[in-house]
Structure 1
Amino acid sequence: MTPDVDTDDPLAWARDNTPVLESLQAEYGESEPLDGYTVAFASHLEAKTGVAIETLHEAGAEVLFAPSEPQSTHQDVVEALDARDGITAFAWEGMTDEEFEEVQHDLLDRGPDFILDDGCELIAKVHTDHPEVAADVIGGGEQTTAGITRLEAMEADDVLEFPVYGVNDTPMKHFFDNVHGTGESSLTNIAITSNTIISGKDVVVCGYGYCGRGIANKARGMGAKTIVTEVDPRKALQAHMDGHRVMDMDEAAGAGDLFVSATGNRDVIRTEHFERMADGVMLANAGHFDVEIVVPALEELAVEVTTPKEGITRYHMPDGRRLNLLAEGRLVNLTGPYSQGHPAEVMDTTFAMMFVAAYDMLVDGPDLAPGLYNIPDRLDREVAHRKLDTLGLSTEELLESQREYADDWEHRDSSF
């Protein structure tokens, strides 16, 4: 009987939908420009991440990988990658939080040359607990908003030992991954996990950065009545101008049917908010680890905790109200029972940006002092052109007269 290649390979479907990564494999698979380098990779270990790791390996790198969240690991992907020479797994499905911490340290003991990170987990740990390893790291890349926040704090404290590209802040990442990836995958997994409709609900979105903006706008497009809470007055005004109701969390707590936190910070939905919520509300985190919704406070308030459906924990309040927490307060689009993370098409560009971050520092070798840097615009544009090529789309070319007009501040031949 002929083997079913697609069935036997957990990365097959993801490869079909990550054409930019496939183009990088085709371009660099023979020359192997990353040969001789060891790259550490921390992310949610599912199929799209597997293709990203595979791409680094095809370009010649030895790859060491670990999870960035202990509950989002897919065992079939881990096993398929770990079976290859030159790729080593520090992960397994169902690991505890303690094991999650331990394997990251085990990975760092191997002394990687470059770190591609999620949440600044490996980069923070290598500085705090493995300074001798950090001293030899050539550089790094960070793909999340929360990770950039930690890196900014590290840079402010002048503790960074090597240069790091802020992949999260480049347009080819946050315009697509944060807005469309987080927006669609979070709402999809909330609907599937709960088997309830978004349309008609009062949906409270905490935070109006790129992720919150994507969630709120897509929820509104699905027929939800959207409310946004924000700490930044400019983003709050932006949400208002985009058509959302804006209020503080104390007021929103009593108005929502579904709450989605997407701030990248902690203690966003807490005791005083739980006390104001209506019976039957749903709570989901689409921001950062399991700290945005204060789950210990829910446990303290509850007189009983039940599981009405897989992926939903119900907290029974003393007054009879029931508050329903999805995915244990962890990332709803990655750790729920049916979760598969962001759509492959948007992770294609995010992981392509991670690849070019490593390629630029390791191969092109820019002379960068330790610190946090924006990815050069030319690299971002190159990935955009690759993506357009895979979609069969083209862009306009500037005329010479247009280039001259843009470069000439005097505009002598025009009144304008």
Structure 2
Amino acid sequence: MEFDVKDPGLAEKGKLRIEWAAQSMPVLRSIHKRFAAEKPLQGTRIAACLHVTTETASLAQTLKAGGAEVRICASNPLSTQDDVAASLVVNDSIPVFAIKGEDKDTYYRHINSALGHSPHITMDDGADLVSTLHSDRRELLQGILGGTEETTTGVIRLRSMADKGVLQYPIIAVNDASTKHLFDNRYGTGQSTVDGIVRATNRLLAGSGFVVSGYGWCGRGVAMRASGMGAKVIITEVDPLRALEAVMDGYQVMPMEQAAVVGDFFCTLTGDIHVIRREHFAVMKDGAIVCNSGHFNVEIDLDALASMAVARREIRDFVEEFKLADGRRVYVLGEGRLINLAAAEGHPSSVMDMSFANQALCTEHMVKHHTTLKKQVYRVPMEIDKNIAKLKLASMNVDIDTLTPEQDAYLHSWEMGT
């Protein structure tokens, strides 16, 4: 079996951590049980470019239980948990190509390795796998039935491809499911991002100026958690509707050029390029801490900061100090990559339970219905979204009301009024 992981000897530690995470993933566990009995993915080859974490391991095990042949690579050079990668190889016989801290060349070599079995289904987190297929590995496109995409950044890229007519197969935007973005993006990103910042720095958030750039679901989550820990949260935005919502939620809203002067912590979550730039570094406080929780490491203009620095050093794990000519120091966390996975463990398993339930069920849907789908990006079918919500509520021992026949008739009637 082909694989490339840091150390297969880490497998036992990884196995225990996977078991720990799985305890909080009851929805995926129920899907695993059904997949093992029904084998809906029998004979399907899946290439998955995802963060290689304990939760991803449970998804991979579920797909394999359903009959799929799965290969996995990392969707971010710093997000791999090496013990988990080792466990999947040693204990589950799933080929994994991922090493925490891999360089760019290794990252793309691993993507190509994940495509080495000529997949039928792609499972992406950021669309690097799909992009590689459409640029360097076009000979494999004919065999692709469809795919899924996990994150906002990837969905944006894929919709751009579809709009330009270059997307060559249908893809389901898992990120658009309510049981994904309302929980994973908001509560998962909120908790894990603050976790990563605190682990990396051990600095107090209470009383600090905490700048959140981007008030989408991920930004909302980070703002909520930082505020809950006593930070004075400032939002920067380009969308007037989101900016207005942030104001109504009680946060200060201002342009980055103003926020850069007063912030102590900065976290970007926009999915766009160079949100924090040279002119912002030029006015930051001494000791400002800058990080990113958007998908790629392009949100912070690290080249500009490097060119401004007269000295740089790693002062703590995942903390790099850039000393400027006037003596001020700016600290960048996790090389500007996803801080929640670079310095922490990513989202809690209980929210990834819903996200990866969507991945598993959307893969099953794609295998069954790909012949009826066009080369475009689709939303998660509502029946899948609602089914996952019901399963999650049941696992939490939460009951809800059901409509009476009278209520149902009223909602479907145009004759009844006041």
Is the structural similarity TM-score above 0.5?
Answer: yes
Q: Distance in 1 between matches of 2:67 and 2:14?
A: 27
Mapped partners of 1:215, 1:7: distance in 2? 28
> Is contact 1:360-1:366 (8 Å) kept?
no
Q: 1:365, CA displacement in angstroms?
A: 5.1
Q: Which residue of 1 aligns with 2:350?
A: 345
Native 8 Å contact 1:63 1:86 kept in 2: no
CA distance in 1: counterparts of 2:263 and 2:92, whole angstroms: 51
Note closer, same or farther for the CA distance 1:181–1:366 as it changes in structure 2 (3 Å cut).
Answer: farther
Q: Are the counterparts in 2 of residues 203 and 225 from structure 1 also a CA contact under 8 Å?
A: yes
CA distance in 2 between counterparts of 1:302 and 1:326 reads 16
Is it true that 1:374 corresponds to 2:371 in the alignment? Answer: no
Please tell me the residue identity of whatever aligns with 1:346. Answer: V
Partner of 1:230: 237
Structure 2 distance, partners of 1:357, 1:25, is 14
Which residue, 62, 67, 77 being the options, matches 1:70?
77
Inter-CA distance 315–85: structure 2 relative to 1 (3 Å threshold): closer
Greater mean alpha carbon deviation, residues 69-78 or residues 373-382: 69-78
Q: Offset at 1:132?
A: 2.4
Aligned amino acid, residue 357 of structure 2: A
Q: What residue in structure 1 maps to residue 23 of structure 2? A: 16
Q: Does 1:163 align with 2:170?
A: yes
1:122 to 1:6, Cα distance in 2 relative to 1, 3 A: closer
Contact 1:57 1:86 in 2 (8 A): no
Matches within 5 A, 1:145-156: 145-156=152-163
> Structure 1 pair 302/7, CA: closer, same or farther in 2 (3 Å)?
closer
Cα RMSD, aligned residues only: 1.6
- Displacement, 1:34? 0.8
Q: Is the 8 A contact 2:168 2:375 kept in 1?
A: yes
* Contact 2:15–2:84 (Cα < 8 Å) also in 1: no
The farther-off stretch of 167-176 and 123-132 is: 123-132
Helix, strand or coil at the partner of 1:369: coil
Which runs of 5 or more structure 2 residues have no equivalent in the other structure? 1-11
TM-score, normalised to structure 2, is 0.94
Q: What secondary structure does 1:303 align onto?
A: strand
Per-residue CA deviations over 1:160-208 (Å, capped at 9, x if unaligned) read 1111101101100000000000011001111121111111111000000
Query: Are 2:213 and 1:206 aligned?
Result: yes
What is the alpha-carbon distance in structure 1 between the residues aligned to residue 19 and residue 92 of structure 2? 19
Match of residue 185 from structure 1: 192
Shift of 1:7: 7.8
Measured against aligned partners, the alpha-carbon deviations of 1:67-124 in whole angstroms (never above 9, x if no partner) come to: 0011211222112112356621122334211110112123224210101110011112
Tell me the CA shift for residue 308 of structure 1.
Answer: 2.3
1:406 paired with 2:407, answer no
* Partner Cα distance (1:89, 1:79) in 2: 8
Is structure 2 residue 330 aligned with structure 1 residue 323? yes
Match of 1:110 among 94, 98, 117: 117
Structure 1 residue 364, shift from structure 2 partner: 5.1
Q: How many angstroms apart in 1 are the aligned matches of 2:289 and 2:250?
A: 23
State the partner residue of 2:3: none
Please state how far the C-alpha of 1:40 moved relative to its aligned partner. Answer: 1.1
1:294 aligns with 2:301: yes
Question: Is 2:65 aligned against 1:58?
Answer: yes
Alignment TM-score, normalising by the size of structure 1: 0.95
Residue 47 of structure 2, aligned match among 27, 31, 40: 40
- Answering whether residue 363 of structure 2 is matched by residue 358 of structure 1, we say yes
Which deviates the most, 6-15 or 241-250? 6-15
Supply the distance in 1 between the matched residues of 2:248 and 2:120 (Cα, whole angstroms).
Answer: 46
1:250 aligns with 2:262: no
Deviation per CA, 1:250-300: give whole Å up to 9, x if none: 111101111000001111101000001011111110112211111111111
1:136 is aligned to 2:133: no
Cα separation, partners in 2 of 1:92 and 1:310, compared to 1, 3 Å: closer
Measured in 2, the distance between the counterparts of 1:256 and 1:322 equals: 14
Q: Is the 8 A contact 1:265 1:288 kept in 2?
A: no
**Runs (5+) with no aligned partner, structure 1:** none
CA distance in 1, matches of 2:133, 2:15: 36
**Alpha-carbon deviations, 1:204-233, whole Å to 9, x = none?**
000000000111122112211111000111
Q: Is the 8 A contact 1:9 1:80 kept in 2?
A: no
User: For 2:366, what is the secondary structure of its paired residue?
Assistant: helix
Name the amino acid aligned to 1:302: A
Query: 2: CA distance between counterparts of 1:7 and 1:408?
Result: 56
In 2, are the aligned partners of 1:10 and 1:80 still within 8 Å (CA)?
Answer: no
Equivalent pairs counted in the alignment come to 408
CA contact under 8 A between 2:177 and 2:379: conserved in structure 1? Answer: yes
Question: Is the contact between residue 34 and residue 363 of structure 1 (CA under 8 Å) also seen in structure 2?
Answer: no
Which residue number corresponds to residue 391 of structure 1? Answer: 396
